[in-house]
Structure 1
């Protein structure tokens, strides 16, 4: 196993010091390898050393200007810092460099949502669900975005897929309740609110929705 693979395994196990050591050894063995710099930057990001991480991402891009993964990692860092315009620019650059992964489409969509650009977020979130069909969170966020833009029927279909994958997703059931409420299907809305409350008894929004429906039945 090479040092990059070893470091990734350590990261997956949450062994950050061991991961950092492995990536640093990879850099020492091949100082021109952009991937090792990105990986080391990801470890630094994970432990909160964001300024140092940015230097490694930028060094990776000096070594390989086409390294979409470096832009993606920078985008994630900026997103976590709530620097959403910077995050957007980096996720877009990652796409331009060929990183057409479900994760990159998802994060670009989420960034656009944070920038109150839901309509522009829709196609990216949709594409993320096509590339990550088993990712319940991608489906949830896409469903929410559809509902926000008043595509209620489409939102119901997507949220139904979400809860089929993750039957414990209380927020998805709650939002299904809201969507069925918009459809004026009180029985189905009540069923969804009840499911949300079964999963999470203190779900205040679901409790409120249930009371509203029951008061009007």
Structure 2
């Protein structure tokens, strides 16, 4: 189950916007199957509800999960899946409400807190996003995408040093993730750490030679704008699988 691409945005420097898609880093993907990521087995969702979610039929998935919840109002997994489906069609306040309900019912999963953080990022509620990512890091400290999400939340609040620390950790855990290198390059550039920013750009190019840099970085490293951008330059990040 993957969110629609171009799901999230994070402010681009100099007043414009940079597309920021909801993400799922390859290094954590295997952790988030139903069997491996759930901290308990108190809840299940029937196949008739989860099948349309997996197939991207989100309106139907919402209808089916509402049916499940009407019969099992304390099914935390159903609330999580319902929130995820709401997010796919842009209903982010409803998405957040369902995630919080799942948490109230006792669900404690790193991917749940990560997706909550990404939802807050979409609404530009960066402090709440930071708090959600911090909890995701506590639950899954070795998952690079949690640190990257935290770095982005710091970045959008202007806390560039903290963003650098988080993005460094993300690149250490998942060195093949171009988005983490890009976040590190931006945060370092904003902190006038041009050497570290350039090193991050070079590592990013090793991972993805065609990654289109933020215009702020292109002002500093204009030669890096010569690579042709992909069709959607920030279509590289996908969300955490809530199954």
TM-score, normalization: structure 2?
Answer: 0.68
Question: 1 or 2 for the larger relative contact order (CA 8 Å, sep ≥6)?
Answer: 2
Counterpart check, 1:179 vs 2:215: no
Q: For 2:115, which of 104, 107, 111 is the aligned residue?
A: 107
Q: For 2:152, which of 141, 144, 147 is the aligned residue?
A: 144
Partner of 1:86: 94
More helix by share: 1
- The one-character-per-residue Cα deviations of 1:152-181 (angstroms, maximum 9, x if unpaired) are 222111111111111111221122122222
Give the 3 Å change call, closer, same or farther, for CA 200–66 of structure 1 in structure 2.
same
Q: Matched residues in 1 for 2:109 and 2:215: separation?
A: 38
User: Which aligned segments of 4 or more residues in structure 1 are displaced greater than 6 angstroms?
Assistant: none
Question: 1:17-32 maps to which residues of 2 (within 5 A)?
Answer: none
Unaligned runs of 5+ in 1: 1-11, 13-32
Give 1:94 shift: 0.9
Give 1:83 shift: 1.3
Give 1:55 shift: 3.5
Q: Which of the pair has more CA radius of gyration?
A: 1
Partner of 2:139: 131
Give 1:60 shift: 2.3
Counterpart check, 1:170 vs 2:186: no
Give 1:61 shift: 1.9
Task: Supply the RMSD in Å over aligned alpha carbons.
Answer: 2.4
Provide the aligned length of Structure 1 versus Structure 2: 183
Q: For 1:195, which of 185, 188, 203 is the aligned residue?
A: 203
Q: Matched residues in 2 for 1:210 and 1:195: separation?
A: 16
SS in 2 for 1:77: helix
